[in-house]
Every structure is written in C-alpha cells, then in structure tokens.
Amino acid sequence: MASLRELRHGATVAGMVRPAVRLALLRGGLENGTFEALREPRTAAELAEATGADRLLIASWLRAAHAMGWLVRRGNAYGPSGFVRWLLDTDAGDAGRAMLEEAIHAYGPVLGRYPELVVSGDRPVWSGDSEAATRVARGSRVIEGRALRALRRVPGVRAARRILDIGCGDAVYLVDLLRRHRDAIGDGVELDAAVAERARAHLVEMGVHRRAEVHVGDFTRLELPHVAYDLVLLNNNIYYFAEDDREPLFRRILEHLAPDGVLAIQSPMVTDDPISRWSGATAATAGFDAFLRIHEDLAGLPEPDGLQAQLRGAGFGGIGMVPVVPGGSVRYVWAKKPN
C-alpha cells in the first residue's frame, strides 16, 4: 500500500504535468478557432457540425478543456470560461495571449535545452527579430495601466515636460505623458525600424505626433536633438544591456538630463516577497531571468542593490523605488541628476 509520502509525491508530479496539458489545450483552442466557435454555447455534435471536426475527438477535447477550467458547461453545451473570454475580447487579454505565445515559441524551447547548454557552454544568441519584439511589446501591456500609475508616483515625473523614451516600443508611455501634459514634447528611440513605424503611427492616431519624434538606432551611438530632458525612461529593456555596459549607459543618459532630471527604469526583478511567491510572480520572474541568462547577448534581470550602485557610480544622486505590482516583482527604480 502506498505511503502518504508517496501519494504526496505522486500528486506533486501530477501537478507538474497538469500545467503542460492545460497550456496545450488552451493553445489549441485559441489557434484553431474552437473557442471562437463556442462564443454561443454548443454541444459536441453542434460544434463538430459547425467546424467539420471529428465528433469523438471534439467531444474528448471539450471534456478535457472543461476539466482544466477553460470551458464552462451548461447541460450538454460548452462555452468559454471568463478567463478565455478575457483573452479573446480585451486589450489586456491580447497582452496575455502574447505572453503565452512567447512562452511557447521562445521560453519553452530555449529552457528545454538548459541541461545541454549548461554542459556545453554554447549559449545561443537571442534572435531579437520583429516577430519576437512584437510579442514582447504586446505582452508588456498586461501591466501597462499599473505601470503608468506607478510612473506618476516617481518624483519629478508629473512636472516633466521634455521626455526621452529609450526603447520606446509602440510609444505607449510617451503618448500617455504627452496627452496628460499639452505643453510637453518627447523623443523616442527604437532599435527596430518596424516597431518605430508602429510608434509613429500610434503618435499620429493619438494626436500628439506634432510634439514627438521617434528615432531609429542604438541610443549609445545615436545623435539626438540638443535637448536637456526632464525625464528619461527605460521600460523593460535594461536586461538588453550587459552588466558592464550599464554604468556607461547611465553616464550617457546623465549627459542628456537637465539638472534635477529623473531617470525611471522599469523592470521585472526576482524577489522572495511573500506576496510575489503567493501570486506566482517569483517563479515567473526567476524563469524569465533564466531565459535571459542562457543567451550570450542578453543580461539577467537587475538586482535592486546592484542597479542602485551602478546609478551612483554613474553620478546620479537621489535614488528610490516604486513598486508596479504588489510585492515588487515589477518596479521602477528612479534616480535624479544632481542640481
């Protein structure tokens, strides 16, 4: 007879298998349009007739997806759960789908090679192509609302009228600041030309393009307008800079800041805070950190103490932090240029 310990260990293994099954069922339902077809609840027979799918297979999939929580059942009919409807119908849900796509297409395959790479030391180079950049940009939107509110709590941000966004992505942060302050001007810097075009289109769409410009290139080499900025942003991109490159990067930013100007760095960080552990954020950020460090050309997530030491070494004065999410697994580290 199995001991209680063996049963617990078996339950642990089952718990490790379950997420892979849940992800596969969720991915299948999203990619093949099954969830869309179930917007109006259907039975297995009705769904098979509507989609041309094998009735026995679709009935099996419906039972499994329902067991995993992706579908709700009323009688013999199935419909998408609230979470799946959120993924299908909201901007935040689209960000969630991008995160799932990135886990499937990037994190999973690379982390799966971890044992081999640890032995060989032959670390891959991150592709950084437009498709990957687009997924990352979409995924970051899952906390954009919180991040924008947190940014306004950074000292000096509300008074900033000359703004530089390094790695601006689709210019979401730049647009928000320019719309809030009609006398503000802004510059964005984006390495990917296709992403920069999307940023320009977003500025036009939101009616702030006359007060902003997006430059394509590497900030560390790019010739920028002779503007003393009140605020410089680094949102979710500090890990693209190697540890040894961060202090020179901060010194260059310091040269572009006005006296009392502020640098705001948003980044995920691995933390043992109880809230982060309870929410799963600690596991998620630790996994992301492992993914980053596997790559030859990427750095790991910053540690708060190390980042603050690099900022002081570059010449910044007042330094502090503002959490974006409870527990601080994503936060702003800010620093001011001495007057």
Q: How confident is the model at residue 129 (pLDDT cuts 50, 70, 90)?
A: low
User: Does pLDDT of 1 surpass 60?
Assistant: no
Whether 97 maps to a domain, the answer reads: no
Q: Which residue has the higher pLDDT, 119 or 149?
A: 149
Residues 71 and 163 in one domain: no
Residues 324 and 234 in one domain: yes
Q: How many Å apart are CA 282 and CA 270, to the nearest integer? A: 6
Residues 82 and 156 in one domain: no
Residues 166 and 78 in one domain: no
Whether 276 maps to a domain, the answer reads: no
Residues 186 and 77 in one domain: no
User: Please, where are the H alpha helices in 161-268?
Assistant: 172-180, 193-205, 243-256
SS percent in the chain: helix, strand, coil, step 5: 55, 15, 30
Whether the CA torsion 118, 121, 127, 133 is positive or negative: it is positive
Q: How many CA atoms lie within 13 A of 55 on its CB side?
A: 5
Q: What percent of the chain has pLDDT over 90?
A: 61
Q: Could you identify the residue written with the tokens 């799963």?
A: 280
Whether 235 maps to a domain, the answer reads: yes
Q: What is the CATH number of the domain that holds 37?
A: 1.10.10.10
Q: How many Å apart are CA 197 and CA 122, to the nearest integer? A: 35
Residues 164 and 68 in one domain: no
191-220: average pLDDT: 94
Residues 81 and 11 in one domain: yes
Residues 69-91 pLDDT 10s: 999 999 999 999 999 999 999 88
Q: Which pLDDT value is given to residue 141?
A: 76
Contact indicator for 293, 284 with CB cutoff of 8 Å: no
Q: Which of 65, 87, 109 is the last residue of a domain?
A: 87
Q: Which of 87, 113, 129 is the last residue of a domain?
A: 87
Whether 119 maps to a domain, the answer reads: no
Residues 195 and 82 in one domain: no
Q: How many Å apart are CA 190 and CA 199, to the nearest integer? A: 9
Q: How confident is the model at residue 96 (pLDDT cuts 50, 70, 90)?
A: confident
Whether 139 maps to a domain, the answer reads: no
Residue 105's alpha-carbon distances to 140, 184, 288, in angstroms, are 16, 39, 14
Sequence-distant (6+) residues with CB within 8 A of 263 are 231, 232, 234, 250, 253, 254, 257, 311, 316, 334, 335, 336, 337
Residues 220 and 309 in one domain: yes
Q: Which pLDDT value is given to residue 127?
A: 67
Residues 29-50 pLDDT 10s: 888 889 999 999 999 999 999 8
Q: Which residues constitute the domain of residue 55? A: 4-87
Whether 8 maps to a domain, the answer reads: yes
Whether 128 maps to a domain, the answer reads: no
Q: How many Å apart are CA 52 and CA 46, to the nearest integer? A: 10
Q: What is the CATH number of the domain that holds 207?
A: 3.40.50.150
User: Does pLDDT of 194 surpass 90?
Assistant: no
Residues 311 and 190 in one domain: yes
Residues 76 and 220 in one domain: no
Q: Could you identify the residue written with the tokens 């647009």?
A: 175
Q: How many CA atoms lie within 13 A of 175 on its CB side?
A: 18
How many domains is the chain partitioned into structurally? 2
Residues 148-189 pLDDT 10s: 999 999 999 999 999 999 999 889 999 999 999 999 999 999
Q: Which of 67, 87, 107 is the last residue of a domain?
A: 87
Contact indicator for 244, 288 with CB cutoff of 8 Å: no
Q: How confident is the model at residue 2 (pLDDT cuts 50, 70, 90)?
A: low
Whether 124 maps to a domain, the answer reads: no
Residues 79 and 151 in one domain: no
